Amino acid sequence: MSSKHSHSENHHSSSESSSSEEEKHHHHHSCKESSSDQDEKHITQLECIKIKKGHRGHRGHRGHRGSQGDKGCHGPTGSTGPIGPTGYTGSKGPTGPIGPTGYTGLIGPTCYTGASGLIGPTGYTGYTGVPGSASATGSIGATGYTGYTGYTGYTGYTGYTGYTGYTGSVGATGPPLSVSFADFYALMPGDNSATVALGADVQFPNNGPFLGVNIARAGPSSFILTDIGIYQILFQVSINEPGQLVITLNNLEQTFTTVGRATGTSQIVGMCLLQTISLNSIITIRNPAGNSTALTITPLAGGASSVSAHLVIMRLF
């Protein structure tokens, strides 16, 4: 910038110098024109003298800027400035995304298996040891003398056969055989056509085989056990609904005899031992009063033939 300012001052100085030269040239020209008139030569010189002594005229207009001069040579390189202080370490930038997985390298060539080494020579067989000397065999002992056979004893006489004992008297006759049984049954369709209501009994209106007089019918669904004793009770009934059946003794439900099923249309089967404590006890097979569903005895279960339901009673003692 200093060079530019110097250049401007030089240019200004040149302009002033040029203006002064122009004034001189103009002055000289004016003098020359005045001197052309030979007749007024003297006057012209006087005028020139007057002009020289007159007031300085106004400065002329600044001339046009001259063209830029040639570029000067580069000055020498300045000395290196001191190293500035180290700037603060910037915060760590976010981690860049993981680059794509490189291609799996090619499997290297399989090396050749080296040839098997030669089998070494068989070692020498060791020397056979010297056999040991055999022990001397002992001499056989002398055979002893055979003893004399003893005499056979005499056979004894056969004893006399004893007399046959007297036959004992016949024992008292035992009690008569107490076993008795009876089979009662129903056939559906026909029997049990109505549903078995809650607290009602299943009917077995038909008589099957029987033995003895301890078991008898009281009605189509009730039966008498005439004697006190232990009885085996077996029954089976086909029904449509999930339900239960129980044996009653003298109109009381024997809860330990309750049997039933939760689903399906299979038979309900019961078996138990029942002890009576009074003569002429009455039993039935009942839909428990505490249940919620009446029972339908299944007719023609599984086919076209009538289906049976049975109650078998046997006195054991």
pLDDT value at residue 184: 98
* Residue 147 near residue 273 (C-beta atoms within 8 A): no
pLDDT beneath 70, residues of the chain: 1-53, 105, 108-114, 126, 129, 132, 135, 174-178
- pLDDT at position 12 is 43
Q: Is 277 helix (H, G, I), strand (E, B) or coil?
A: coil
Cβ-defined contacts of 251-258 (< 8 Å, 24+): 251/282, 251/284, 253/286, 253/288, 253/289, 257/233, 258/288
Helix H or strand E segment including 21? helix 2-34
CA 30 to chain centroid, in Å, comes to 124
Give the tokens for residue 9: 């001052």
Name 294's Cβ contacts closer than 8 Å, sequence gap at least 6: 195, 196, 197, 198, 241, 287
Q: Whole-angstrom Cα distance, residue 232 to residue 225? A: 11
Peptide bond just before 242 cis, omega within 30 deg: no
pLDDT score recorded for residue 7: 44
Rounded CA separation 89/167 (Å) = 136
With tokens 């001189």, the residue in question is 24
The two tokens of residue 164 are 């046959």
Taking only the tens place, the pLDDT of each residue in 239-257 is 999 999 999 999 999 999 9
How far from each other are the two terminal CA atoms of the chain, in whole angstroms? 146
Q: What is the pLDDT of residue 39?
A: 54
The pLDDT assigned to 81 comes to 82
Q: From edge to edge, which strands make up the β-sheet containing 267-275? A: 206-211, 180-188, 307-315, 230-238, 267-275
Q: Which long-range contacts (CB under 8 A, 24 or more apart) does 1-10 make?
A: 3/72, 7/69
Tokens found for residue 12: 């200004």
Burial of 23: CB neighbours in 10 Å, binned 0-12, 13-18, 19+? middle
B/e letters for 114-129, b = 16+ CB within 10 Å, e = fewer, are: eeeeeeeeeeeeeeee
SS3 133: coil
The dihedral through the CA atoms of 33, 35, 38, 42 has a sign that is: positive
In a 10 Å sphere around its CB, with 0-12 CB exposed, 13-18 middle and 19+ buried, how is residue 212 labelled? middle
Full-model pTM? 0.46
What pLDDT is attached to residue 16?
43
Contact (Cβ atoms closer than 8 angstroms) between residue 284 and residue 221: yes
Biggest alpha carbon–alpha carbon distance for the chain:
235
Q: Which of 254, 238, 252, 245 lies closest to 288, judged by CA?
A: 245
pLDDT digits (tens, 9 = 90+) for 26-85: 444 443 444 455 555 554 554 444 445 677 788 888 888 888 888 878 788 888 888 888
